[in-house]
């Protein structure tokens, strides 16, 4: 990788009381890549997302975006800086319509409601949710809500998009549509860091994968390298044995 | 607040304080302030206990809590009038009646309010607030807006002189009832099946159904208990306080502040906060004019939540 | 509109047009409502009824203002009486002590209230849910106690507005209620228009996002603290303007008649009963609630028997339980239940 990384996670540690959710994690995400972040439940993937998106600060370590240290920025400032995210447990604005949900995202780039509405409509079409534009978010089906989260994030015109288990709970058909959508997003020049639990989905989609286990980076490389890694196999088998 | 003996006491304390100048306030005067503040604080804690219990159980703030207190006082007033028995002996009956009222209010109003899909929080607030107004109206209808008091009781008007410190018997008794109620509450929560069900309901409403606890039943009993506790407080207060339809308001406000100061849902936080508030009020009342005595409580509340936004012992 | 729709599917463009048509319809409705109300006092000359009209319009404006913070931004304040009191006292004190026009006093009161809201908001907006609501109650009660013992402002005795020439400059009209009706109508219309304007503006969407899901809002670039502060300042400004108006209308204020907790509730109630966080909710709530309060008070409350309270309280309970979304629910589309199958909504 010669391209300068758009995002660098540098030695990030995060503790919750006695529990260390992330331990000395360092990851570089090159511009334009789809990077998969995988690992068993509780590995610390969502925690790392929250730290990158600025939902809470790391206990130690730094986050660098395009060469600038953004560790001190809060979540709204990071959104303005070009980081957008979805949540593992969807967080829609339930009493607002679908297009209004997306407009909230647009407003980080414009103060004009008309412009925000236009942008939101465009994004809704892009994620194929335009048919539901005037439905209340609370009325959407779970897969539609995931799409809405994606649309909202895209409306902020991100450079880096963080997707936390967006395929969870989708039928195979829906998941295929989701994969296609993520590919289309990448084609627009957005770098993607995605957490996914379902290996079958991530592996064909991502350029590279990072495996997190017990808060630490266990393995890193192409999907092929990662699935062949002894340590990864053990971690996943171990996980399955415990479950 | 038109509290007969309490005000006398305050005047006496104030007299002492002024005679000696605030700086050279005697030990006695200081002890008087502390002890009377403590006693009133225990009663505040008892009033707040039921509010805190219900909140901890189901995240609902009962905006009719002050009216529950008022109802309990009128219940005592009515019973004394009808049976000519001393209030002390009637306390269990009043608490029992209030238990029933609490359960009925849950089943008849709150249960339905909780079903709201939109604005659930506001619906609960205004359903219980509407109930509060209805209860006030009922009190006016049946008892008129006049101020009432229960004359010639065993404890009323009597004070205990403890080496120059004057302790009114009704407040002493109230303090004892409050402590007993908190001990009972502690035993109930830690030792009984209901206590475990209560804790489980609090932790995770979803899991409760799986374990086979009937939430509705726990909530009904919870509301009964909450109202029963404020029933005890009302029974004691009926002995030394004027009874009128609007008596609950100021006490409800103090109770909300108490619960928030202690931390919503923390029953023993309410005990600690009640005592703290009683003390602060007693001290403020000696420093500032009586009509400004609640300023101390307000200032304390604001100061605490700015440092600890979830109150002293709150974890939610 | 059409130029902006380029590149968007026809369905969306249509939806867009429908949205703007609906907004225009709202404005037309307002025009009709205002016209009807303007004519009404010319037909209904009864002073008692005219009095109720003034109060209804005034509470419409006040509740509309409360709704900005409580309804749209979701921060339930039950201490807005403090801003009402600030408005009433500012204009009254400026007039009695310095002879300043009540119109100027109104603006000054609004400005001071907005400032106070910002100062209070700084610590308050760290508090969540009930902790916030109780803090608002507490600070308003503290203000009540302080005004009771502030001699310059008349203490517990209050201030009588000195009679001046009856004219618009002094906002005094003797027994004539008509000018007050039109002033209150203007207030209600202005607060409605401000809300209407904000509904389709960045602040409006931000506020609703903050109300629905603060965490998601932050992730989309919404600075929650600033959003709440803006809503609080605007809300406080208009409540204070209403307070100045009320002081002129009743011509006598004391702490209990402008700072009482009761007022804080009366600002929230119409919005809640009519439809919290909606454009017409406060007006709808006030039109039902205020006349009902006044009628029950005069027909059933005179005897002090409490029947007025029973009716009033039962109504609040009934609406809260039966129409949780408010009376507006009778007029606007209800949220549909979830589609039975996932495929139903998945078409493009
Ligand atoms: N806010 C929090 N407070 C305390 N512990 C947390 C918090 N968030 C996550 N954790 C803990 O950190 C660990 C990692 O969680 P998470 O990052 O959600 O894992 P993953 O997304 O990989 O499944 C888990 O043990 C979880 O319980
Ligand atoms: Mg996760």
Task: Give, in order, the Cα–Cα distances in Å from C318 to each of B18, B102, B230, C277, C278.
Answer: 54, 19, 26, 20, 20
Task: Give, in order, the Cα–Cα distances in Å from B259 to each of B55, B265, B272.
Answer: 9, 8, 10
Q: Percent of chain B at pLDDT above 90?
A: 51
Distance CA B48, CA B273 (A): 9
Q: What is the pLDDT of residue B313?
A: 83
pLDDT digits over C259-279, tens only? 999 899 999 999 999 999 999
Q: What is the pLDDT of residue B3?
A: 44
Q: Is C47 exposed, middle or buried (0-12, 13-18, 19+ CB in 10 A)?
A: exposed
DSSP designation for B109: I
pLDDT digits over B40-67, tens only? 999 999 999 999 998 888 888 899 999 9
* Sequence ranges of the domains in chain C: 46-260
Question: Is the pLDDT score of B1 beyond 60?
Answer: no
CB contact under 8 A, C309 and B133: yes
Q: What is the pLDDT of residue C3?
A: 40
Q: Does the predicted interface ipTM exceed a cut of 0.95?
A: no
User: A128 to chain C: which residues are within 8 Å by CB?
Assistant: 348
Q: Which of residues 248-267 of C touch B (CB under 8 A)?
A: 261, 265
Q: Splitting chain C (348 residues) into consecutive groups of 10 residues, what average pLDDT does each group show?
A: 49 79 94 96 92 97 97 95 98 94 96 98 91 93 94 89 82 85 97 97 97 96 97 98 96 94 93 93 94 83 75 88 86 54 36
> Closest ligand 1 atom to the C-alpha of A50?
17
* B199-223 mean pLDDT: 74
Secondary-structure breakdown of chain A: helix, strand, coil percentages, each rounded to the nearest 5: 40, 25, 30
Q: What is the pLDDT of residue B184?
A: 93
Question: Is the pLDDT score of B249 beyond 50?
Answer: yes
Residue A13: strand, helix, or coil? strand
**DSSP conformation letters of A111-167:** S-HHHHHHHHHHHHHHTT-GGGTTSBGGGS-HHHHHHHHHHHHHHT--SEEEEESTT
User: A141 to chain C: which residues are within 8 Å by CB?
Assistant: 338-339, 342, 344-346
Q: Does C310 touch chain B (CB under 8 A)?
A: yes
pLDDT bucket at A241, cuts 50 / 70 / 90: very low
Question: Is the pLDDT score of B155 beyond 50?
Answer: yes
Question: Is the pLDDT score of A231 beyond 50?
Answer: yes
pLDDT bucket at A201, cuts 50 / 70 / 90: confident
Q: Which chain C residue has the Cα nearest residue A158?
A: C220
Q: Percent of chain B at pLDDT above 70?
A: 88
Q: What is the pLDDT of residue A3?
A: 65
Residue A165 alpha carbon to ligand 2 centre in Å: 7
CB contact under 8 A, B264 and C130: yes
Assess contact for A94 and A149: CB atoms under 8 A: no
Weakest-pLDDT range from A124-133, B6-15, C206-215, C257-266: B6-15
Q: What is the pLDDT of residue C266?
A: 92
Weakest-pLDDT range from A50-54, A204-208, C14-18, C319-323: C14-18
Top pLDDT among B47 and B8 is at B47
Which residue is closest in CA terms to ligand 1's atom 7?
A: A16
* B123-131 mean pLDDT: 89
Mean pLDDT for chain A?
Answer: 91
CB contact under 8 A, B123 and C321: yes
User: C8 to chain A: which residues are within 8 Å by CB?
Assistant: 118, 121-122, 125
């Amino acid at each position: 990788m010669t391209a300068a990384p758009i995002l660098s996670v540098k030695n990030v540690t995060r503790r919750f009381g006695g529990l260390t959710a992330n331990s000395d994690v360092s990851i570089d995400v090159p511009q334009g890549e789809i990077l998969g972040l995988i690992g068993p439940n509780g590995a610390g993937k969502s925690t790392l997302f929250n730290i990158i998106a600025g939902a809470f600060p790391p206990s130690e370590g730094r986050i660098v975006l395009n060469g600038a240290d953004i560790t001190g920025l809060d979540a709204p400032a990071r959104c303005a800086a070009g980081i957008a995210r979805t949540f593992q447990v969807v967080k829609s604005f339930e009493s607002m319509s679908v297009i209004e949900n997306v407009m909230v995202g647009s407003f980080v780039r414009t103060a004009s409601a008309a412009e925000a509405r236009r942008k939101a409509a465009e994004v809704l079409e892009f994620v194929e949710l335009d048919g539901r534009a005037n439905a209340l978010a609370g009325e959407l089906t779970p897969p539609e809500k995931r799409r809405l989260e994606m649309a909202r994030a895209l409306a902020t015109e991100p450079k880096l998009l963080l997707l936390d288990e967006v395929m969870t709970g989708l039928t195979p058909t829906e998941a295929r549509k989701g994969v296609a959508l993520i590919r289309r997003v990448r084609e627009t020049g957005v770098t993607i860091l995605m957490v996914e639990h379902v290996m079958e989905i991530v592996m064909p989609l991502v350029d590279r994968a990072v495996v997190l286990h017990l808060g630490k980076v266990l393995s890193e490389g192409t999907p092929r390298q990662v699935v062949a890694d002894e340590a990864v196999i053990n971690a996943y088998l171990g996980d399955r044995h415990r479950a | 607040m038109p509290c007969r003996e309490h005000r006398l006491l305050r005047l006496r304390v104030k007299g002492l304080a002024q005679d000696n100048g605030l700086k050279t306030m005697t030990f006695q005067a200081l002890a008087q302030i502390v002890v009377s503040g403590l006693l009133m604080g225990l009663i505040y804690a008892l009033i707040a206990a039921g509010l805190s219990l219900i909140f901890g159980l189901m995240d609902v703030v009962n905006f009719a809590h002050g009216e529950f207190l008022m109802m309990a006082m009128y219940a005592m007033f009515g019973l004394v009038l009808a049976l000519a028995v001393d209030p002390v002996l009637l306390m269990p009956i009043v608490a029992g009646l209030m238990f029933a009222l609490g359960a009925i209010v849950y089943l008849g109003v709150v249960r339905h309010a909780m079903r709201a899909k939109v604005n659930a929080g506001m619906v609960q607030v205004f359903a219980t607030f509407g109930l509060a107004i209805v209860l006030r109206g009922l009190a006016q209808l049946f008892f008129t807006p006049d101020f009432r008091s229960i004359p010639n009781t065993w404890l009323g008007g009597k004070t205990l002189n403890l080496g120059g410190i004057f302790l009114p018997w009704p407040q002493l008794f109230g303090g004892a009832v409050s402590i007993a109620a908190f001990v009972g509450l502690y035993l109930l929560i830690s030792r009984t099946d209901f206590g475990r069900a209560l804790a489980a309901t609090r932790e995770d409403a979803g899991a409760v159904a799986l374990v086979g606890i009937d939430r509705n039943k726990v909530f009904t009993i919870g509301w009964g208990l909450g109202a029963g506790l404020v029933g005890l407080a009302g029974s004691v207060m009926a002995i030394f306080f004027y009874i009128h339809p609007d008596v609950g308001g100021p006490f409800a406000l103090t109770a909300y502040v108490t619960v928030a100061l202690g931390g919503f849902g923390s029953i023993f936080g309410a005990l600690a906060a009640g005592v703290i508030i009683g003390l602060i009020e007693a001290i403020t009342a000696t420093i500032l004019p009586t009509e400004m005595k609640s300023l101390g409580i307000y200032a304390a509340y604001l100061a605490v939540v700015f440092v600890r936004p979830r109150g002293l012992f709150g974890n939610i | 509109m059409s130029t902006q729709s380029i590149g968007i599917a026809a369905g969306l463009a249509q939806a867009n047009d429908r949205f703007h048509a609906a907004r225009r319809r709202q404005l037309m409705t307002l025009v009709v409502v205002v016209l009807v109300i303007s004519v009404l006092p010319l037909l209904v000359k009864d002073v008692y009824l005219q009095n109720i009209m003034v109060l209804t319009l005034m509470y419409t404006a006040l509740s509309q203002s409360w709704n900005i913070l409580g309804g749209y931004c979701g921060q339930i304040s039950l201490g807005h009486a403090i801003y009402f009191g600030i408005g009433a006292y500012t204009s009254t004190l400026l007039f009695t002590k310095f002879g300043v026009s009540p119109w100027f006093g109104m603006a000054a009161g609004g400005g001071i209230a907005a400032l106070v809201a910002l100062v209070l908001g700084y610590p308050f907006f760290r508090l969540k849910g009930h902790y916030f609501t109780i803090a608002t109650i507490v600070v308003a009660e503290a203000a009540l106690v302080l005004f009771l013992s502030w001699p310059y402002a008349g203490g517990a005795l209050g201030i009588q507005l000195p009679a001046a020439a009856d004219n618009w400059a002094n906002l005094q009209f003797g027994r004539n209620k008509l000018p007050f009706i039109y002033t209150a109508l203007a207030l209600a219309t202005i607060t409605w228009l401000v809300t209407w304007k904000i509904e389709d503006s960045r602040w409006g969407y931000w506020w609703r996002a903050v109300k629905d899901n603060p965490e998601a809002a932050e992730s989309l670039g919404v600075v929650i603290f600033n959003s709440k502060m803006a809503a609080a300042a605007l809300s406080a400004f208009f409540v204070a303007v209403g307070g100045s108006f009320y002081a002129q209308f009743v011509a006598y204020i004391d702490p209990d008649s402008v700072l009482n907790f009761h007022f804080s509730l009366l600002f929230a109630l119409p919005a809640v009963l009519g439809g919290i966080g909606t454009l017409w909710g406060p007006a709808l709530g006030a039109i039902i609630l205020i006349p009902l309060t006044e009628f029950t008070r005069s027909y059933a409350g005179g005897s002090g028997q409490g029947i007025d309270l029973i009716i009033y309280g039962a109504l609040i309970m009934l609406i809260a339980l039966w129409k949780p979304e408010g009376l507006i629910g009778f007029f606007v589309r209800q949220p549909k239940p979830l589609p039975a199958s996932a495929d139903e909504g998945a078409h493009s």
